[in-house]
Amino acid sequence: MKTFEWACVAAVWATVLLQVAPVAARNRMPRWWGDRISAPRLWAAGLVVLAVGATLAIAVSGRRGSSLATGLGLLAVVGGLGMTGWAHRANRG
């Protein structure tokens, strides 16, 4: 990968790990999220799926014959976003 691609992947994972670490350590959301998310572990899993998909999409984009891998990466990003959205809605009636 090129330098810019590595920087993008590093930024994605740094952001995700910063938010997922409190959930993994204490099963609580970071303070800046408050009580808006009712299923913290589902939300954290969604962020990790999103980061894996973004890494896959960034790492293989622009390479020859990589349309399947890029598509799977984008599908994982959408799936991760869906999981985080589901975590927001989990005990709302």
List the domain boundaries for the chain.
Answer: 3-89
pLDDT score, position 70: 84
**Angle, helix 40-60 to helix 3-26, in steps of 10 degrees:** 170
Q: What is the predicted pLDDT for the residue at 57? A: 86
Per-residue model confidence as pLDDT tens digits over 44-73:
999 999 999 999 888 877 677 678 888 899
pTM of the complete model: 0.83
For residues 22 and 58, give the distance between their C-alpha atoms in angstroms, rounded to a whole number: 26
* pLDDT per position as a tens digit, 27-37: 777 777 767 77
Find the radius of gyration of the CA atoms of the chain.
15
| The predicted structure's pLDDT at residue 91 | 60
**Percent of the chain having pLDDT more than 70?**
87
